[in-house]
Amino acid sequence: MPRTVVTGGAGFLGSHLCEELLALGHEVICIDNLSTGDTLNVAHLTGENFTFIRQDVTNFVTIPGEVDYILHFASPASPVDYLERPIPTLKVGSLGTHNTLGLAKDKGARFLLASTSEVYGDPLVHPQTEDYWGNVNPIGPRGVYDEAKRFAEAMTMAYNRFHGVETRIVRIFNTYGPRMRLNDGRVVPNFIKQALRGEPITVYGDGSQTRSFCYVDDLVRGILALLFSDLDQPCNIGNPNEMTILEFAEAIIRFSNSKSKIVYEDLPEDDPKQRKPDISRAKSLLNWEPSIYLDEGIKKTTAYFKDRV
């Protein structure tokens, strides 16, 4: 039975990964300090093959016994969270990555880093390929997250090259689905919450900025394909079906049968104007591409939020 550690395992993505790894026959050790995670996300996973440890991975991490895989997903991920927690965000990307890589080195485990499309910043290349170095403002308000992930990638590759640790880097694009926090500030829960309550839906700027939305089940499938592959270079995982934020707001209203109207507010500083993954690497080397259409994913996500609004 493979033994796998998931940091940030009680969060949105981490909990789905824990669930799928258990289904694949792994023993799963979930580590989370619950700053943005929630034990309710993993409450249904209790059993002899699942262990929850409440810990901040910016402190030294030790796990008794053998470990085969480490998936480092601990980090605030929404702008609301990392703007409220700028220093912990920087610390989990630097110290947390260092500590978990050290654990991987000690255990001889394969290490997967959850990076992000934010390493591309406000991109000057479209769509974004893995060889694009990005356009990031290191001293802007979003820099605490962007640069934490860019540093984490550099640290991961250093452990790969210098210590011979088997590493994988996934660059995650916008993802949505059940277990997102209702008030995490990201566009999907914001729009669905407002639509279900019949409140005005807030679009920043004129809504012409684009995003690409991937349903969580597709993302988890792509992450695990990368984990079990031989690819040690960064890999984009996301849905290349690009749409404007205004189009997305209109889709949410339509799928939820809401009577909400759209209102406009000023665009936040350094908000990316375009975001679309080039997934050629994932398609050719992992045989992966998303398969869940937006209407199906939004209906499942809306059903989840209906009980929580």
Considering the domain architecture, whether residues 56 and 41 belong to the same structural domain is answered as yes
Handedness of CA 41, 44, 49, 50 (dihedral sign): positive
Dihedrals φ, ψ of 180, to 5°? -65, 150
Considering the domain architecture, whether residues 24 and 35 belong to the same structural domain is answered as yes
Determine whether 262 is exposed, middle or buried from the number of CB atoms within 10 Å of its CB (0-12, 13-18, 19+): middle
Domain count, the chain: 2
Q: Is 31 within the bounds of a domain?
A: yes
The tens digit of pLDDT for each residue in 211-237 reads 899 999 999 999 999 999 999 999 999
Q: Is 282 within the bounds of a domain?
A: no
pLDDT band at residue 204 under the 50/70/90 scheme: confident
Q: Is 287 within the bounds of a domain?
A: no
Considering the domain architecture, whether residues 151 and 249 belong to the same structural domain is answered as no
When the pLDDT of each residue in the chain is averaged and rounded to a whole number, the result is 94
pLDDT of residue 291: 97
Q: Is 281 within the bounds of a domain?
A: no
Q: Is 225 within the bounds of a domain?
A: yes
Residue 58 half-sphere exposure, CB side, CA atoms within 13 Å? 13
Taking residues 15-27, report their average pLDDT: 98
pLDDT of residue 222: 98
Q: Is 284 within the bounds of a domain?
A: no
Considering the domain architecture, whether residues 138 and 10 belong to the same structural domain is answered as yes
Contact (Cβ atoms closer than 8 angstroms) between residue 215 and residue 175: yes
Considering the domain architecture, whether residues 121 and 205 belong to the same structural domain is answered as no
Domain hosting residue 99, numbered range: 3-175+214-237
User: Of the residues 145, 159, 176, 215, which is catalytic?
Assistant: 145
Predicted confidence (pLDDT) at residue 255 exceeds the cutoff of 90? no
Q: Which two tokens stand for residue 78?
A: 């929404």
pLDDT band at residue 62 under the 50/70/90 scheme: very high
pLDDT of residue 270: 63
Considering the domain architecture, whether residues 231 and 245 belong to the same structural domain is answered as no
pTM of the model: 0.94
Q: Is 280 within the bounds of a domain?
A: no
CATH number of the CATH domain containing 185: 3.90.25.10
The answer to whether residue 145 is catalytic is yes
Residue 66: count of CB within 10 angstroms of its CB: 11
Predicted confidence (pLDDT) at residue 111 exceeds the cutoff of 80? yes
The tens digit of pLDDT for each residue in 265-294 reads 887 776 778 889 999 999 999 999 999 999
